[in-house]
A = this chain, B = another copy of it.
Amino acid sequence: MGGVKISAGLHARAAGNYFEKDRLLMTEFNRFFAPRSLAFLGASSDTNKWGYRILSNIVHGGFRGKIYPVNPRGGEALGLQFYKSLEEVPEVPDLVVIVVPPVAMVDTIKGCISKGIKAGVVVTAGFAEVNESGAAAQDEMVALARQGGMRLIGPNCFGILIPSAKLYAQMPPIFPPDGHIAVVSQSGNVGLTIARRAMAHDFGCSCMVSIGNEADLHAEDFLEYLADDAKTAVILAYIEGFKDGRRFFEIARNTSLKKPIVMIKVGETEAGASAARSHTAALSGSAEVFGGIGRQAGIIRANNLQELMNLGYGFLCHPLPKGRRVGIATLGGGWGVLAADACARLGLDVVKLPQDIIKELDSFLPGWWSRNNPVDLVAGSADAIIRVVDVLARYGGIDSVIALGVPFPHLARMTLPTNEEEKKQVIQFIVESYSKSFSDMKAISEKYGKPVIIAAELPAPRTEGSFDQDIMRSISKQNMVCYSMPDEAAMVLNSMARYGEFIRRG
């Protein structure tokens, strides 16, 4: 049986290789987050059924532990023989993933308990989100599980995704790599949207938990676990409503003191709340109440998915700013105006530059530069922006720098060569040029301990195929991110400054 290998460094404190050494460390959450074996209840060989598709994702995802598919009628799929009952399974699996129909749920849970199983993910829908009899069935299921000492995720969820365990027990075939973003979502499809977008930027996930109806385990239980999960650097959450608001905010506050929670909270309009009720039976509560309590708990609010992603990348890549004073360096005037406007609207301080800084910039910038903050290089040499960022970041009167544009590769031609070998070389040159620009910016950020947040277009020659992905990958390898719009950089910086204030207040 394969063990979960967790690498050193950042992950040193993670749940790690506990189970190979010490069985006693196996807590209920480890069963979810690093199971050594799992039973899949409701396996199917019909490729149109979730009983096949989820099993397929578990198998293709490369889960390193034992997989025991179970179906009362037997059968086989994906090279696995189905067990006719849980009793026949030759060990007590750490985790069960359940996709049986609602009518079979009570017997299934009873079977799990008599087998001694302590952790289950109930994917099956048709409970409290549907009607009152569904709610009653859900209550019965939870009561049974609790009596038997079994904890449940769901029902009505997409599953769970733990890249470090190569566990991809979820509906769509998406396989984000291991990383430091944790996703806790009341919506499976929003959770996977988040995981997929992170993946497109080449950032990995420490987990994606689709919590569904939260019949037993609630969002806050996962926050509590993730607060001490060394692998997780930032938690992205999508929440429609709270089962126990007081407990949620208490735990969220304690978690926020350890790492940022970025959250989309929906259901604050009547239309949204009604949609949430039929989605996950969530009771949404009012915007005002959440706004105030959320801020006190240090929760960073995102207004939409794009903001959520941008904030996630920001917290992952940048140190917290020590204050609200911003310096802006830009390769183009318009982007500078957009950024200055966005900063000022959010309450960031686009400081006036003192004479000695202006003098220093004068020493190497062309005569026509703006002599203002934003420092506008006005079509001067793009390479100079690195020096400008260094001067701004060094200045004690500035807490963070926004750089709009980076030095870009100077290309002899505007189209890629048709010769495949030459083309590869040109692409490699472009990717490496950008990579170097971002590592230079990163070095400045680290030297002065201040965030350097970059928004830029990454101009490349005309080409039939896109290689943005390669550029993105080279950037995220530096643990950097390139925002595509100046106001995004301002928004991220403002939320990071606000979170810094929360942390300092304690």
Contacts and interface: CB of A to CB of B under 8 A. Distances in A.
A390 B338 CA distance: 41
Which residue, of A60, A280, A457, A468, has the highest number of chain B Cβ atoms within 10 A? A457
A340 B465 contact: no
Contact of A350 (B271, B303, B350, B378): B271
Contact of A60 (B343, B370, B414, B459): B414
A216 B350 CA distance: 32
Interface in A138-195: 171-175, 185-191, 193
Contacts of A172: 459
A485 B371 CA distance: 39
A100 to B, nearest CB: 15
B275 A340 contact: yes
Contacts of A332: 187-190
A264 interface: yes
A406 to B, nearest CB: 14
A486 B336 CA distance: 29
A143 to B, nearest CB: 23
A126 interface: yes
Contact of A279 (B171, B271, B337, B462): B337
A113 interface: no
B345 A269 contact: yes
Nearest to A309: B485
Contacts of A20: none
B465 A334 contact: no
Contacts of A126: 368
A331 to B, nearest CB: 7
A345 B457 CA distance: 32
Interface in A368-382: 368, 370-374, 376, 378-379
A440 interface: no
B334 A190 contact: yes
Contacts of A373: 271, 275
B193 A341 contact: no
Given A370-B279, A374-B275, A487-B304, A267 B334 contact: no
Contact of A276 (B125, B305, B337): B337
A333 interface: yes
Contacts of A484: 306
A207 interface: no
B487 A305 contact: yes
A379 B158 CA distance: 10
B125 A338 contact: no
A465 B465 contact: yes
B275 A337 contact: yes
A376 B156 CA distance: 14
A185 B334 contact: yes
Interface in A184-242: 185-191, 193, 196, 238, 240
Interface string A471-496: 00000000000001111100000000
A335 B485 contact: no
A296 interface: no
A268 interface: yes
A2 interface: no
A372 B130 CA distance: 11
A383 to B, nearest CB: 12
Contact of A376 (B279, B340, B371): B279
Contact of A304 (B60, B130, B279, B342): B342
A270 interface: yes
Interface string A344-369: 11000010000000000000000010
A338 B305 contact: yes
A72 interface: no
A466 interface: yes
A240 B337 contact: yes
A433 interface: no
Interface string A391-426: 000000000000000000000001000000000000
A264 B338 contact: yes
Nearest to A171: B379
A343 B272 CA distance: 9
A462 to B, nearest CB: 7
B238 A334 contact: yes
Contacts of A459: 172, 174, 196
Interface in A229-283: 238, 240, 264, 266-272, 274-276, 278-280
7 contacts: A187-B332, A191-B334, A270-B344, A272-B344, A275-B340, A275-B341, A304-B342
- What 5 A-B pairs are tightest by C-beta distance, nearest first? A187-B334, A189-B332, A272-B341, A269-B344, A190-B334
Given A266-B338, A271-B344, A272-B338, 6 more contacts: A173-B414, A238-B334, A267-B337, A267-B341, A274-B372, A275-B333
